[in-house]
Structures are given as C-alpha cells and as structure tokens.
Amino acid sequence: MCFSTTASFGAGVILSGAGILAATKVTEPKQRMFAAIPAIFAIQQFAEGFVWLSLTQEPFADWLRRAAFVFLFFAEVLWPLWIPMAILRLENNSQRKKILRFLAGLGLVFALHTFYYLLTNAFEAQIAEYHIQYKLHYPPTFVLFTWGVYGILTILPTFISSVPKMWIVGLPMMASFFIAEMLYPNYVISVWCYFAAIISIIVVIQQMEMSKRLKFWQQ
C-alpha cells in the first residue's frame, strides 16, 4: 500500500474483519467469490506491509522481492480475473451473463499474459515521497494495453451487473482510480490498490443487502 507500514497493516486488519463479516452473510454458494473480496484485499495489504518493512528495516531486507511479487500478483494478475468472475456468478440475467462471460474469458487471458510478464521481466519497489513506487519493466505497448483492459475488467462488470446497487461498488472504484492517476501518477499501483482495498468494505454492505433480498423472496 501507500503512506506507511502502519497504514498497510492497519488496512489489512480492518479488511480481515470485513472479510469475516462478509463471509457470515453468504447465503448461497454463488456469493462466495464476491464476499471474499475484502479478505483477499487484506492479504494484499499485508503483503505490501512487508514490502514497507523490507524497505525500511534491515532485518526484513531479504523479503523485498517475495513481498513485492505477492502484492503485484494480486494487483496485476488476480483482480482482472476475480472481479468479472465473482460478478458473473451472481448474475441471473441471461443477456448480461453473456457479456460477463466474455469479460471473464478476457480476464483469464489477461491474467495469464500479465503473469507471464511478471515472471519474465524485472520489477523494483522503492520508497519515494512517502509512497511505494513499483517499477515494472514491461514493454511500452503492453503497458498501454494493460491500463485500458485492466480498467474494463475491474470496473465495468459492476455496471453491467443486474444485481441491485452493484454500481455502488464500481463508482467509487472508478473515481479513486482517477484521483490516484491525477494526484499520485508515479504511484498509481500502490495508491489505487489501497483506495480500492478500503472501498471494498462496501462489499460487506452489498452482501448484507443480497442476503436480505434472498430472505424476503424465500418468505
């Protein structure tokens, strides 16, 4: 994450609690992937906490590459696949399900492609201006491709979904991306992932709403 070791680990603790709460609100198996989002963000934030430690505390220096790899795996590989898959599982509308299936398939291709680049290209993490800056030595054409498709895969599904008020999850995610891009252009990966992690607490509210609606229709 950005800002400090404490902020990363603190976010991880809060998101762990949110993840547990979301899990208790699951009423159908198809909700599990969506409900797991805060817990996965918690793991990602703990990973960046160790990136901070490895950059600021000599005894943890050897952990840098592993911790940075875990963080980048979640940020660059997992989320573009997990988000469309999780929302696809919730979808009942046949037309929208077709679109979400396409996005989930694109997410799989994108995730495998990005994972390959993460494994075969050098990457660095360093502290600059109180933030962690990740330098990914990917080909320039791939970087341009990544930003556009990444946004489509992680944000668009929330607006396609027919689940009531799902856009409440996507709208702040989209707004936080533009804020990170404008205010922290050199640290977008770290800053936006932190914003998105905190915003993912909304998943708990959405999960509670879905549970209420299901109970209503079962009465």
Q: Where are the domains of the chain?
A: 5-218
Across the range 127-134, mean pLDDT stands at 87
What pLDDT score does 205 carry?
82
Confidence of residue 213 (pLDDT cuts 50, 70, 90): low
Confidence of residue 214 (pLDDT cuts 50, 70, 90): low
What is the longest distance spanned by two Cα atoms in the chain?
59
Q: What is residue 78's DSSP assignment?
A: I
Question: Regarding predicted confidence, which is higher, 29 or 214?
Answer: 29
Give dist(CA 31, CA 35) in Å, integer.
Answer: 6
Beta pairing partners, 133: 126
Across the range 176-191, mean pLDDT stands at 84
Across the range 74-96, mean pLDDT stands at 95
Q: Is there a contact between 74 and 44 (Cβ–Cβ < 8 Å)?
A: yes
Across the range 36-64, mean pLDDT stands at 93
Count of CB atoms within 10 A of residue 121's CB? 12
Q: What global pTM score does this model have?
A: 0.89
Among 47-56, 136-145, 183-192, the least confident range = 136-145
Percentage, residues of the chain above pLDDT 70? 94
Confidence of residue 109 (pLDDT cuts 50, 70, 90): very high
Give dist(CA 48, CA 46) in Å, integer.
Answer: 5
